[in-house]
Amino acid sequence: MSQVKTFTLEPGTPRARTAAVELLADGEGSRRYRVTLTPEAEGAAPRTFEVDAAALPGGLLHLLTDAGRSVTVGLDRREGGWTATLRNHAFDLDVLDERAMRRRSLTGGKGAQNAPELRAPMAGKVIQVRAAVGQEVQEGQSLLIIEAMKMENDIKAHRAGVVEAILVAPGDTVATKDVLLTLA
């Protein structure tokens, strides 16, 4: 039943690594896997875990490691990967399979940091727009105020640039990731 699939985690970042997953055994209520994590950075050693994994209701995966550690991980789908939650910490992980990695290497990965769009980090209501089209802005400069849950939140420029277009006006309701304005 041995079958290995390889995934790339957080591709295109300094922390990129591959995870080779092998199903070792199908047990009563759990499955055994061997997972080898190999950082892409040079000089970093691969780490291999043999774990007994029990899937529980609620998107929970209980792991027993070969060192005897017992830990429950919550798993939620996210765009392009999974969020793994353990010890109250949520790890947002991009996870690509081999096919997706090949596709990605053809198109070339693009980061969001240099994108022209400033997007809403939360859902809320636009209270104030502090920038004007054509204005030159610095990274970190406050450009809008969005009210969410009765608190005002400063929305700051994600990079320096010139305001090209403003797509929202005071009073507008925005959803998470909506484009607020664009920078040239």
Partner 1 sequence: MAQRFNKVLIANRGEIAVRIARGLRELGIGSVAVFSDADRRAAHVRACDEAYNIGPAPSNQSYLVVERLLEVAKRAGAGALHPGYGFLSERAHFARAVQAAGLVWIGPPADAIDAMGSKTLAREKMIAAGVPVVPGTEAIHDPHEAFAFAREAGFPVLIKAAAGGGGKGMRRVDREEDFIAAFDGARREAAAAFGDDTVYVEKFVVEPKHIEFQLLSDEHGNHLHLFERDCSMQRRHQKVIEETPCAILRDDVRRRMGEVATRAAAAVDYVGAGTVEFLLDVNQDFYFLEMNTRLQVEHPVTELVTGLDLVHWQVRVAQGEALPFTQDDLHQRGHAIQCRVYAEDPRRNFMPSPGLITHLTTPAGPGVRDDSGVTSGAEVPMHYDPMISKLVVWGEDREVAIGRMHRALSEYTVRGIQNNLEFHQIALDHPAFRQGTYDTQFIGNHLDELVAALDARIQPEDRDLADVAAAIAAFEADGPAPDAEAAPTPGADESPWRLYGRYKQLQRI
Work out how close the CB of 138 gets to partner 1 at its nearest, in angstroms, rounded to a whole number: 18
Say whether residue 24 binds partner 1 (CB under 8 A). Answer: no
Structure-block tokens of residue 171: 């009073």
Site string (99-138) toward partner 1, x via CB under 8 A: xx--------------------xxxx--x-----------
- Asked if 143 and 136 count as a contact pair (C-beta separation under 8 A), the reply is no
Q: Is 103 helix (H, G, I), strand (E, B) or coil?
A: helix
* 93 lies in the site for partner 1, by CB under 8 A: yes
The distance of closest approach from Cβ of residue 184 to partner 1 in the complex, given in angstroms and rounded to an integer, is: 26
**Of positions 136, 139, 152, 164, contacts partner 1 by CB under 8 A:** 152
C-alpha angle 21/26/32, rounded to 5°? 45
Q: Which two tokens stand for residue 172?
A: 């507008």
E-strand ranges in the chain read: 4-9, 17-26, 31-39, 47-56, 60-65, 70-78, 81-86, 89-97, 117-119, 124-129, 136-137, 142-148, 151-156, 161-166, 173-174, 179-183
88 binds partner 1 (CB under 8 A): yes
Name the segment binding partner 1 (CB under 8 A); options: 64-72, 107-115, 133-141, 159-167: 64-72
Considering only residues 24, 40, 49, 117, which one is a binding residue for partner 1 as defined by CB under 8 A?
Answer: 49
Q: Tokens 């403003």 identify what position? A: 166
* Choice from 25, 41, 44, 47 touching partner 1 (CB under 8 A): 47
For the CA atoms of 111, 114, 116, 118, what is the dihedral angle to 10 degrees? Answer: 80
Residues contributing to the site for partner 1 (CB under 8 A)? 5, 7, 9, 17, 19, 21, 23, 33, 35, 37, 47, 49, 51, 53, 55-61, 63, 65, 69, 71, 73-91, 93, 95-97, 99-100, 121-124, 127, 147-153, 176
